[in-house]
Structure 1
Amino acid sequence: MNHNDFQNKNLSLLGFGTMRLQVDSDGKIDEAQVREMTTYAITHGVNYFDTAYPYHNGESEHVIGRVLKEYPRESYYLATKYPGHQISSTGYNPAEIFEDQLKKCGVEYIDFYLLHNVYEKSMEVYTDPQWGIIDYFKEQKRLGRIRHLGFSCKIFDKTHSLNYFSKYDLL
């Protein structure tokens, strides 16, 4: 497995994504298969694992958290995401969601925390002072509970300036 240096971290070029895990006829994630795939991935040098709050209706974080518990925390990097593109009219409490994510993943810190899907008009939500989302996550980074803070996107909206994102660790 090839690796690349990212801010003194030796990250595998291939990551293990958990958005589309195998499910049984009831829609439940096949945890035994995830365990087997994770063992294979780690054995072959993969050390970056990606999940998100909404994946598999929130179960992805539980499953990957339980599976990764079998490995030393310093042997892998965990990425998860805040679901700002799913903010309702009443909003989400970033602290409540983040604490839930730490608990579900079974960790005390997240290596790579991303504000999810900036192209789906969520930048307005992320930067709206009424929610305090970015400020909250910057504070969690300052406290060491987030190691790297950034954004995820599938399609970069050219109306957003790259200068805005340059203040963060990753896009």
Structure 2
Amino acid sequence: MLTKEDFKKIKKEAKLEIAVLEQEYHDIGQKLDSSQSDQRKNRRYASLVIELCSIMEQMLNQLYQNVYQKSFNSTELMKIPAYRARSNMEMIQAELTKQQITLKSGKENMAHALSQVFQARNRLIHENFTFASIVKEDMKEEQTFEAMLDTIKRYRKHLKYLRPE
């Protein structure tokens, strides 16, 4: 069973990993100057997005495993009609919500924002690993990555465990 202390520990581990990744992002700007190709920078941003989503997936999977005492199995959950059209992240969020692990009141839109980050990650993977394929209109690569990073950080921050001990 998940305790509030376990919950806080799992969230803190994710926060620390996100901070390391954020520092790597800032280092890209310092290490890659204009003489290096945009292609290299593009690949670095793409790999950071993949890792950023992996950190979030790992956090949610750890929470799921602690709550249910078993590994997350999307194939099994897809047998539930309401889950058939949902992504793995949407399924795991729904399952965690059943156990009082949810976003703060008024922050429910963060679940949709997280879903958009994961959709962008999937598009990135399927579009030949090119970050340019997910850069938002009227934004630069840096702005797009920073928006994704901010979404992940805010989602993690606003995730709460409401079950009393």
Do they superpose with TM above 0.5? no
Between Structure 1 and Structure 2, which shows a larger proportion of strand residues? 1
- Could you state the TM-score of these two structures normalised by the residue count of structure 1? 0.22
TM-score by length of 2: 0.23
- Structure with a larger share of its residues in helix: 2
Kindly name which structure, 1 or 2, has the bigger radius of gyration based on alpha carbons: 2
Q: Relative contact order (C-alpha < 8 Å, sep 6+): which is higher?
A: 2
